Amino acid sequence: MAQQAYTLLLRLLSPLIWGWMYWRARRAGGDWKIFSSDRFGSYALPWDGEPPVWVHAVSLGETRAAQSLIVSLLSRGDRVLLTHTTPTGRAEGAKLFAAEIATGQLRQQWLPYDFPGATRRFFKHYRPRLGILIEREVWPNLLDQAQKADVPMILASARFSERAQGHVRRIDQVFLSLMRDAYASIDLVLAQTEDDARRLFEVGASNVQIVGNLKFDVVLPIVAVDAGRAWRQRLTRPVISIASTREGEDAMFVSAIQHQLKHPGVKLEDFSAHAVHFDPILTPIVSNDVPTEPSLKLNASIGASDNPTSASPSYPSPASPPPLFFLIPRHPQRFDEAAALLEQSGLRFVRWSDIRHNTHADRELSDVQVVLGDTLGEMPFFYAASDVAIVAGSFAPHGGQNLIEACAMGTPVIVGPFARNFADAVQGAVAAGAAVQIQRSEIVDPALRAVATALNWLKEPEALAARGHSGRDWVALHTGATARILQQINDFEVARDQALQRRH
């Protein structure tokens, strides 16, 4: 009954969902194929091979996280069906696995909408021998049809926050045990942390193991990393990347950069809590739900110059080499919006898309203050070219973005107060001395403090290098999730085969 009520509501709301997807496609670009037959479980190309291992990576972050696991599956001879929901995820998968797609060892496809008929046709067409959902993609009809098609399902590198747990419980208050039944139907749940495992068990998952986070097994693109480091070496200035900014954050950081340039040498305590608001065009988001805690959460090993209780960070003197800032919006629909903010601010900037193929661009940036990162898929280059990375998505209430990739490259990291989606990783990186987390202060805006902290770090190259080494060591300490997941999959498949043999 709950499943039928959910499906009815989904059908009633589907025009609104498609409208939202159309609006997002118009803003973000990319080919969403909203009404393609694939999204409804009908396929022009036959599946002519052995039953594949199906991996679902909803978007860009999940696709990158799944890379090491997919490479391992391909290496052991599996054919892989890789599905996505967003065009950014699909584009990243096409780039990462171009050779395997060309040979037919991997096929990409859209995940069908969660209608019973669409998901039933999906399983009938591809007949996967195993399904692997990355991180948290749990859809009731999809899992129901997997059970009916006798396709075992695994939730891998699963993360499940208190907020997600609350959402699931609220859904079940309306639809009885809809989500509890869905989680209970998953054959094997491989959680990132003990807390994730506990919360997943509490909402109905039964066979739960702890394996770690796939994102620590990041595969660094050597060509992009080497190119970024070579580009940085040709500069005579330090580089600070403000990466993966989301709605509201571009204005915050443009304003913070303005202040750094207008007031060199001014200590942070000389600014009032609203000092960053004097430019009406560049008013940052201010949220009232951030606790007023000390301005920085720091490991005890961090130098006194970073600790607000001993000495507040200050801007470097005018004689110091001026830094070059990379401002990198996460979503392409905001590239023009960020450019407009930079134009209005009076900051001298260029678009990365205009100089990325110019072999002498580094020589022509002496008067440029900001480079707007307006391309996709080049974050490894930007991190490798940077002395410090401010990982955004965490300075407005968006939940944060992944900081592990920057740490893996040895780039010291600063994050903001809203990092709930990566809370465990942030806590671990801070404890290791690889990162700091800025908290909301009544004295200074967090974006302004992040920029000032980055500038303070630049004045201590040895300490900065130590942070970078700490980041690499911290990532290395937590690698191995891929191997553990593969071992769990192997053990699961052996046990399943033995059970089938006993049954016959």
Domain count, the chain: 2
Q: What is the pLDDT of residues 56-87, one digit of tens each?
A: 999 999 999 999 999 999 999 999 999 999 99
168 and 50 assigned to the same domain: yes
3-state helix, strand, coil in the chain (%, to 5): 50, 15, 35
Q: What is the pLDDT of residues 444-475, one digit of tens each?
A: 789 999 999 999 999 999 999 999 999 999 99
83 and 199 assigned to the same domain: yes
Coil/strand/helix, residue 173 = helix
pLDDT at residue 279, as a whole number: 33
Q: What is the pLDDT of residues 100-125, one digit of tens each?
A: 999 999 999 999 999 999 999 999 99
Pairing state between β 296-297 and 435-438: antiparallel
- Pull the structure tokens for residue 95: 């780039």
Is 11 within 8 Å of 115 (Cβ atoms)? Answer: yes
Is 125 within 8 Å of 52 (Cβ atoms)? Answer: no
Q: What is the pLDDT of residues 182-214, one digit of tens each?
A: 999 999 999 999 999 999 999 999 999 999 999
Q: What is the pLDDT of residues 314-364, one digit of tens each?
A: 334 444 678 999 999 998 889 999 999 999 999 999 999 999 988 888 788
Say what the pTM is: 0.84
**What is the pLDDT confidence band of residue 267, given thresholds at 50, 70 and 90?**
low
pLDDT at residue 443, as a whole number: 63
- Comparing 311 with 431, the larger pLDDT belongs to 431
Cα–Cα distance, 468 to 401 (Å, whole number)? 19
Ordered alpha helix ranges (H), 356-434: 379-384, 404-408, 423-432
204 and 236 assigned to the same domain: no
Instruction: Evaluate whether residue 472 is within a structural domain.
Output: no
481: CB partners within 8 A, 6+ apart: 157, 192, 211, 212, 213, 214, 216, 217
pLDDT of residue 307 exceeding 70: no
Instruction: Evaluate whether residue 204 is within a structural domain.
Output: yes
Among the candidates 446, 466, 494, a domain finishes at 446
- Pull the structure tokens for residue 33: 């194929």
pLDDT of residue 240 exceeding 90: yes
Instruction: Evaluate whether residue 455 is within a structural domain.
Output: no
pLDDT of residue 310 exceeding 60: no
CATH number where 89 lies: 3.40.50.11720
pLDDT at residue 265, as a whole number: 61
Coil/strand/helix, residue 75 = helix
CA torsion 153-159-164-166 (nearest 10°) is: 90
Residue 38 half-sphere exposure toward CB, CA atoms < 13 A:
15
**What is the pLDDT confidence band of residue 29, given thresholds at 50, 70 and 90?**
confident
Instruction: Evaluate whether residue 452 is within a structural domain.
Output: no
234 and 180 assigned to the same domain: no
238 and 207 assigned to the same domain: no
360 and 486 assigned to the same domain: no
11 and 135 assigned to the same domain: yes
Instruction: Evaluate whether residue 278 is within a structural domain.
Output: yes
Query: Catalytic annotation on 62?
Result: yes
Q: Which residues pair with 156 in a beta bridge?
A: 134
409 and 437 assigned to the same domain: yes
Lowest mean pLDDT of 86-100, 167-181, 264-278, name the range: 264-278
Q: Which residues pair with 208 in a beta bridge?
A: 189
Other CB atoms within a 10 A radius of the CB of residue 145 amount to 24
Q: Per the residue annotation, which of 50, 62, 247, 337 is the catalytic one?
A: 62
CATH number where 250 lies: 3.40.50.2000
Instruction: Evaluate whether residue 225 is within a structural domain.
Output: no
Average pLDDT, integer, range 259-272: 64
pLDDT at residue 361, as a whole number: 80
195 and 271 assigned to the same domain: no
pLDDT at residue 273, as a whole number: 37
pLDDT of residue 301 exceeding 50: no
Among the candidates 399, 426, 446, a domain finishes at 446
pLDDT of residue 165 exceeding 50: yes
- Burial category of 416 from C-beta neighbours within 10 Å (exposed 0-12, middle 13-18, buried 19 and up): buried
What range does the domain containing 110 cover?
Answer: 2-216+480-503
pLDDT at residue 431, as a whole number: 97
Q: What is the mean pLDDT of the chain?
A: 88
Lowest mean pLDDT of 58-72, 281-295, 318-332, 386-400, name the range: 281-295
Percent of the chain's residues with pLDDT above 70: 88
pLDDT at residue 210, as a whole number: 97
Q: What is the pLDDT of residues 437-450, one digit of tens each?
A: 998 876 678 999 99
245 and 143 assigned to the same domain: no
192 and 264 assigned to the same domain: no
pLDDT at residue 316, as a whole number: 43
112 and 249 assigned to the same domain: no
Cα–Cα distance, 422 to 420 (Å, whole number)? 5
Instruction: Evaluate whether residue 280 is within a structural domain.
Output: yes
Cα–Cα distance, 446 to 158 (Å, whole number)? 30
Instruction: Evaluate whether residue 223 is within a structural domain.
Output: no
Q: Which residues pair with 134 in a beta bridge?
A: 156
